[in-house]
Structure 1
Amino acid sequence: MGLLMFYEYLSRIEALIEKHDDIGLHNYLDAMHAADIAEVLENLESDEQRQVFGLLTDEKATEVLEELNSDDFSELIKALTYEKKVTLLDLMSQDDIVDKLNELPESRQKEIIAFLDYEDAADVKDLLLYEEDTAGGIMTKDYVSIQKDYSIYYAIETLRAIAPDAETIYYIYVVDDAERLVGVISLRELIIASPNRSVESVMNENVITVNINDDQEEVARIVSKYDLLAVPVVDNGNVMHGIITIDDVLDVIEEEATEDIYKFAGTSDEEVYEHDDTLFDRVKNSVRSRLPWLVITIFGGLLSAKVLASYQTTISANASLAMFMPLLAGMGGNVGTQSSTITVRNIATHMIEGADILRTLIHEISVGMLVGMFCAIIVGTAALFMHAEYHIAIIVGISMCANMVTAATIGTIVPLIFKRIGVDPAVASAPFITTTIDLTGLTIYFTLATMMIANL
């Protein structure tokens, strides 16, 4: 929903609330998408939330609950009657319930689980045992499975009976007597198959699966690679435990991309705040996220100052050298950030494996050399027009090229090293990269200047 559309929805709903026009408000809400209603609810006062939510049909109310953040979900559930709680929670998907409960205190989790029926409560408790960012933590047990020795006719009759409780029926999973996954059949294949044939004779035995302990990022990669609408979750014995649907995978992709962006910027998702967070909490989280990387930058700056101090004689004798320091540092930082961004992205999408590592390094160094030579000609010529001596122009040009090659190398190697030692490559963030490049760039510049000037 666009910002203008959101404010249009919000102002319209607030106007209907103020007029006490419940009929008009009900009709207006009925035409809205559940995700839009949820976004509006999160910006209303508690009493207004309850009033609006109370006008929704059970189906629409369930969809809205699945879209809400955990705090608003908890507060709205708390305000409902016993019968309404049971009805809505029964309609919700298990994985959505688990997503909400994971962010609530344990005592509140138990209160909400108490309104589920015995089977759903057991499944939800089981799902809560898994880590949030694993396949087990994002899967649902609401799936359809049939025995491999079923006839197609009996399989369809079984599907009619159990499909209403399933999250998706695009794929029907085939299991043996021990619940081990042995095949999969699409709904289309099931419908067009001869009723007298066995499920085993038409099923696809080459099933793409994920392990229950796999990281959610690996799950997203597999679903994306094979263009799946859902993927089965199995344990080490190939026993099926649940499925992960495409809507959950999209949430994972957004979450992982956001996390990588924050890390790359030298901060974290702690800076994402809720609308009811206090200013103190927002400031505290931001300071805690940014300060460690800024401290690293400070020490890098102090080392840079130490490098400059060691070349003080060279700088004093040729003051014009100082004019080009910001340019060299800035260009090196830009190239390093570009290389590290591309490398981190390729690592995240598993495009750098084995021999690709060397190929990637050679590619980035080659790019750094070519753009460095081009930029060296420009800055060398500019230096002459700025009335710098010809040897200063040569020093600046050569340093520019060398600095950009070095920056491209560092920007590529650092994420690869982090990956090798088991650290998230996204942690190779801009402050770390640029600080390292500043040190190497200044060292190259003044070492070259000292050597050339000494030989004049």
Structure 2
Amino acid sequence: MGLLMFYEYLSKVETLLEENKDLELHVYLEDMHAADIAEVLENLEDDQQIQVFGLLSDEKATEVLEEINSEQFSILLKDLTYEKKVTLLENMSQDDIVDKLSELPESRQQEIIAFLDYEDAADVKELLVYEEGTAGRSMTKDYVSIRKDYSVYYAIETLRAIAPDAETIYYLYVTDEIDRLVGVISLRELIISPPNRTVDTIMNENLITVNVNDDQEDVAKVVSKYDLLAVPVVDNDNILRGIITIDDVLDILEEEATEDIFKFAGTSEYEIYENDTTLFKRVRNSVMSRLPWLIITIFGGLLSARILANFQGTISANATLAMFMPLLTGMGGNVGTQSSTITVRNIATHVIEGTGIFRTLIHEISVGLFVGIVCSTMVAFAAMMMQADYHIALIVGIAMWANMTTAATIGTIVPLVFKKIGVDPAVASAPFITTTIDLTGLTIYFSLATIMITKV
């Protein structure tokens, strides 16, 4: 929804609320998309949210519950009648319920689960047991499975009975007598097959599956790689436990991308405003997220100061050298961040595997060499024009070239090393990279200056 459209929706809803035109507001809301209603609700007062939500039909209210955050989900449910709670929760998909409950206190989770029927409650409790960020936590148990000894006719009849509660019917998963996954059939293939054929004669046994304990990011990569609408989730005994659909994969990709961006900036996703309601909590989370990396930067700065102290004689002999320090460290930091960004991205998309590691390293070092040549030539020429001293120009030019090459190397190697030792490469964030490169850049610059000025 565009910004202008959002304000149009919000203004219209607020106007109808003020004029107490509930019937007109109901009609207006029913024509809106659930995601737009959810966004409008976020910008209303609590009592207005409850009033607006109460005007929605059961179908639209269910869709809105799936779009809002956990806190709103909990608040809106509280003011509904018992019957309304039961109806809406029954209409919601299990994975969406689990997604909302996972961010609520356990006592509140149990209160909401109590409104589900026995079977749904058992399924939701099972999903909540799996560790957050795994395939088991992201899956739904609302899928269609059929036995391999079913006839096509009986399989279609089974599909008719289960389809209203299933999240997707494009794939039908085939199991044996103990629920082990043995095959899959597309809806198209089932419909065009003769009614008397058995399922095991037409099913596809070449299965793409994920394990309940697999990381959700790996699941998203599998779905993306094989262009699937859904992927079955099995346990260690190949028992079918659920499925993950494409809409959940899109949410996973957004969540993982957001997490990596925050890590790369030296902070965390806990700074997102909608995660907490109070200013104190938001400020506390921001401080706790940013402070560790800033402290690392402080120590890096102190080490840089120590390096400068070691070369105090060189600086005193030619104070002009200090003029180019910000330029050298800044350019090195930029090159290092660029290389680390590309490397982290390639790691995340599995481009860097096997010989890909060597190719990536050679590529980034080569880029550092060539951009270093161009930039160092420009800087050396500028230094010559500013100072009319070819010694300074030569020192600055060579130092710039060496620093940019080193920065590209460090920006590539650090994420690769982190991956090797089992640490998220995204943690090789900008503060870490730039601090390291500042230290190496200053050392290169003043070591070179000391040698060349002494010779002169």
- 2:387 & 2:408 partners in 1: Cα distance? 30
Out of 151-160 and 40-49, give the one that drifted further: 40-49
- Does the aligned pair in 1 maintain the 2:399–2:445 contact within 8 Å? yes
CA deviation digits over 1:226-266, x for unaligned, max 9? 11111000011111000001111111100100010001001
Q: Pairwise mapping of residues 210-289 of structure 1 onto structure 2 (< 5 A)?
A: 210-274=210-274, 277-289=277-289
CA deviation digits over 1:125-183, x for unaligned, max 9? 11110112100001000000001111111111110011111111011001100101111
- 1:47 & 1:440 partners in 2: Cα distance? 58
Cross-structure match for 1:331? 331
- 2:299 & 2:152 partners in 1: Cα distance? 70
- 1:446 & 1:299 partners in 2: Cα distance? 20
Q: Pairwise mapping of residues 88-237 of structure 1 onto structure 2 (< 5 A)?
A: 88-237=88-237
Residues 1:386 and 2:386 are matched in the alignment? yes
- Does the aligned pair in 1 maintain the 2:276–2:282 contact within 8 Å? no
Out of 363-372 and 270-279, give the one that drifted further: 270-279
CA deviation digits over 1:76-118, x for unaligned, max 9? 1111111111111111101111111111111111111111111
Cα drift, residue 275 of structure 1: 8.1
Residues 1:317 and 2:335 are matched in the alignment? no
Q: Could you say what secondary structure the match of 2:213 adopts?
A: coil
Q: Could you say what secondary structure the match of 1:274 adopts?
A: helix
- Does the aligned pair in 1 maintain the 2:364–2:408 contact within 8 Å? yes
Q: Any unmatched runs of 5+ in structure 1? A: none
Residues 1:347 and 2:347 are matched in the alignment? yes
Cα drift, residue 310 of structure 1: 0.7
Cross-structure match for 2:405? 405
Cα drift, residue 453 of structure 1: 1.3
Cα drift, residue 278 of structure 1: 2.4
- Does the aligned pair in 1 maintain the 2:34–2:60 contact within 8 Å? yes
CA deviation digits over 1:182-226, x for unaligned, max 9? 111111111111222221111111111000000111011111111
- Does the aligned pair in 2 maintain the 1:320–1:388 contact within 8 Å? no
Cross-structure match for 2:78? 78
Cα drift, residue 46 of structure 1: 2.1
CA deviation digits over 1:291-350, x for unaligned, max 9? 110111011011111111111111111111111111110100000000000000111111
- 1:296 & 1:288 partners in 2: Cα distance? 13
Q: Any unmatched runs of 5+ in structure 2? A: none
Cα drift, residue 288 of structure 1: 1.1
- Does the aligned pair in 2 maintain the 1:65–1:73 contact within 8 Å? yes
Cross-structure match for 1:48? 48
Cross-structure match for 2:437? 437
- 1:48 & 1:279 partners in 2: Cα distance? 22
Cross-structure match for 2:291? 291
Cross-structure match for 1:416? 416
Cα drift, residue 287 of structure 1: 1.2
- Does the aligned pair in 2 maintain the 1:303–1:439 contact within 8 Å? yes
Q: Could you say what secondary structure the match of 2:387 adopts?
A: coil
- 1:217 & 1:249 partners in 2: Cα distance? 9
TM-score, length-scaled by structure 1 = 0.98
Q: Could you say what secondary structure the match of 2:443 adopts?
A: helix
- 1:109 & 1:307 partners in 2: Cα distance? 55
**One-letter code of the match for 1:385?**
M
Cα drift, residue 279 of structure 1: 2.3
- Does the aligned pair in 2 maintain the 1:140–1:244 contact within 8 Å? yes
- 2:412 & 2:246 partners in 1: Cα distance? 33
TM-score, length-scaled by structure 2 = 0.98
- 2:440 & 2:418 partners in 1: Cα distance? 20
CA deviation digits over 1:381-401, x for unaligned, max 9? 111111241011111111111
- 1:4 & 1:427 partners in 2: Cα distance? 37
- 1:183 & 1:266 partners in 2: Cα distance? 45
RMSD: 1.0
Residues 1:26 and 2:49 are matched in the alignment? no
- 1:196 & 1:245 partners in 2: Cα distance? 30
Q: Could you say what secondary structure the match of 2:184 adopts?
A: strand
Cα drift, residue 276 of structure 1: 6.5
